Structure formats: structure tokens, C-alpha cells
């Protein structure tokens, strides 16, 4: 397998176990790996950018495989990838990877995910990208996901995608021998019961803590372009399948556009 130039980021921070196992596994497979990720956990930051503060970045030694070049950055996951592409790497990488995130990024989670946003930054720049997540906050079974990343990288090298697509990958939190297989999925829909808990600091000032409780996956209306027979990422992960969901940054609702255009809906606004 030809060594590839890989950029890896995350939202769990430079000291996260998931990114260390992913980067080290890919470096041991012979790839040229550069890590640029936040200096602390930046989960659920979405596609936020740092515009009103300076971004500080430092080389990090002693954490990763000796062949991995690692940077710690004070910015968001998206900042990290932008910084890497513009100020660290001399030429664009072959692939951008993000993760392995500790916790799933399924369904509507992707709209808030710093992990997915870091990978999306690569896709925006025309670079094939992969977001990887371990579908559990308690499990530490990162190695099956890292091994699968090696297989997926090889597949993308031998069979490149027709455009710079983002592949959102979720790994079931089980040992390698318990993984049922790999499945192409559509994005599911999950909602949370939002609960803002009011608390008080030692001086009696109130503050609020967001605590969301997951609701079982909600059926989507029949306006999607993929067959409802194709399982969602939420459904497939429950059966211990590795899920792969292709994503894009263009959020245009094609069916909504066609409806508004064909029904002359805008005429009433003139």
C-alpha cells in the first residue's frame, strides 16, 4: 500500500486516547501522519471558528508514535484543520480524518459535532474526509475503529470517491470479533429532551447547566431521496454494524426548493 499523507484532528483534545490510537495505528501502517487538534476538549462546538481571540499552537512531543508530527491548538476543531492546511502542511493531505471521538455521532448529532465539523472542513477544501466515532462514552475499545480506518484508507486509495465526500463512520463499542459487519446507512433523526438545571454558586448567583436526555430515534417523513428500506445509522449501530454515512456541506433542501418553485409559492410574497 502506498503511504499517504494524512491530517488528523478531533474535538476531544490532544490528550484523548482515541486520537492517539488512530494516529499511531496509521503511522505504524506506514502513512505520513500530522496531528493538529485542540489543546483541550472542544466537544459540541459545531463548525465554530475563533475570530475574536488569537490562536496559539505548539508542537507536542512524547505523546504519539515517533513518526507522528503533532500540534496542539487553542482553537476549535475547525480552526485546527484550517490552521493545519494553511500554516502547517506544505501541501494538501490525501485525506483528512477526525477522531476517534469518544461517543457516537449519529443522526442529528452531526449538526453539533466538532468531530464531524473538523472532517467537513477538509471536504470544503476539496479533500476526501472521514469522521470516526466510537458509539459509547464508557467503552475504550478504540483499536477496532483504528484498524478499520486502515482498511478504509486503503479502500479510498484504490477506489477514490468521485468527489470530496465526507464519510461519517460510527464504530460499535464491542470487540473486533463481535462486529457484525460494515453497512452503508442514511442519517437518522434523534432528538433530546432539553433540561436546563438551575444551580447556584457560593455567592448565591444562579447559573444553568444543560442536561439532555436522549429520545428514541424518531421516524423521518417520507421526503428523503433514499429508500426508507435503507437502515439509518442509529438502527444499524444497535445491531453492532460499523456504519458509513456519506455527508455533504451543501444543505440545500432539493425537494423543498422544487415544491416552492413548482407551486409558485413565492408569488404571494410579491
224-267 pLDDT, tens per residue?
Answer: 567 778 899 999 999 999 999 999 998 888 888 888 888 878 88
What CA–CA distance (Å, rounded) separates 270 from 130?
Answer: 44
Q: What is the pLDDT of residue 126?
A: 95
Domain count, the chain: 1
Residue-wise pLDDT tens digits, 160-178: 988 888 999 999 999 999 9
Domain-located, residue 63:
yes
Tell which residue, 201, 66, 2, has the closest CA to residue 35: 66
CATH of the domain at 105: 3.40.1210.10
For residue 140, give Cα distances in angstroms to 132, 135, 178, 206, 238. Answer: 14, 10, 15, 36, 18
Strand intervals (E) in 28-128: 32-38, 57-60, 69-73, 95-102
What residue numbers bound the domain in which 132 lies? 5-185+227-256
pTM (whole model) above 0.85: yes
Q: What is the pLDDT of residue 217?
A: 56
Domain-located, residue 80:
yes
Domain-located, residue 61:
yes
Q: Provide the 8-state DSSP code for 11.
A: S
What CA–CA distance (Å, rounded) separates 91 from 260?
Answer: 43
Residue pair 98/133 in contact (Cβ under 8 Å)? The answer is: no
What CA–CA distance (Å, rounded) separates 101 from 126?
Answer: 23
Domain-located, residue 220:
no
Residue-wise pLDDT tens digits, 58-104: 999 999 999 999 999 999 999 999 999 999 999 999 999 999 999 99
Domain-located, residue 190:
no
Q: What is the pLDDT of residue 264?
A: 79
Going by DSSP bridges, is the β-strand pair 181-184/5-9 parallel, antiparallel, or unpaired? Answer: unpaired
Domain-located, residue 207:
no
Name the strand (E) or helix (H) holding 261: helix 254-262
Domain-located, residue 266:
no
Domain-located, residue 55:
yes
Amino acid at each position: 500500500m502506498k503511504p499517504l499523507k494524512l491530517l488528523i484532528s478531533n474535538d476531544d483534545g490532544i490528550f484523548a486516547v482515541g486520537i492517539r490510537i488512530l494516529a499511531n495505528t496509521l503511522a505504524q501502517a506506514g502513512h505520513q501522519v500530522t496531528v493538529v487538534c485542540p489543546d483541550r476538549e472542544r466537544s459540541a462546538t459545531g463548525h465554530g471558528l475563533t475570530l475574536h481571540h488569537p490562536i496559539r499552537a505548539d508542537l507536542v512531543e512524547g505523546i504519539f508514535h515517533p513518526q507522528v508530527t503533532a500540534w496542539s491548538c487553542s482553537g476549535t476543531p475547525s480552526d485546527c484543520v484550517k490552521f493545519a492546511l494553511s500554516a502547517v502542511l506544505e501541501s494538501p493531505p490525501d485525506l483528512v480524518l477526525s477522531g476517534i471521538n469518544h461517543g457516537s455521532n449519529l443522526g442529528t448529532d452531526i449538526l453539533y459535532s466538532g468531530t464531524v465539523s473538523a472532517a467537513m472542513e477538509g471536504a470544503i477544501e476539496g479533500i476526501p474526509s472521514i469522521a470516526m466515532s466510537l458509539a459509547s462514552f464508557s467503552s475504550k475499545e478504540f483499536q477496532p475503529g483504528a484498524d478499520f480506518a486502515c482498511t478504509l484508507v486503503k479502500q479510498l486509495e484504490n477506489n477514490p470517491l468521485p468527489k470530496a465526500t465526507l464519510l461519517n463512520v460510527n464504530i460499535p463499542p464491542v470487540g473486533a470479533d463481535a462486529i457484525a459487519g460494515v453497512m452503508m446507512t442514511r442519517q437518522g433523526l434523534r432528538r433530546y429532551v432539553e433540561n436546563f438545571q438551575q444551580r447556584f454558586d457560593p455567592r448565591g448567583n444562579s447559573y444553568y447547566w444543560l442536561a439532555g436526555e436522549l429520545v428514541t430515534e424518531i421516524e423521518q417523513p417520507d421526503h428523503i431521496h433514499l429508500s426508507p428500506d435503507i437502515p439509518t445509522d442509529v438502527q444499524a449501530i444497535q445491531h453492532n454494524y460499523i456504519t458509513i454515512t456519506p455527508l455533504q456541506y451543501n444543505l440545500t433542501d432539493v425537494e423543498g426548493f422544487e415544491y416552492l418553485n413548482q407551486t409558485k409559492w413565492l408569488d404571494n410574497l410579491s
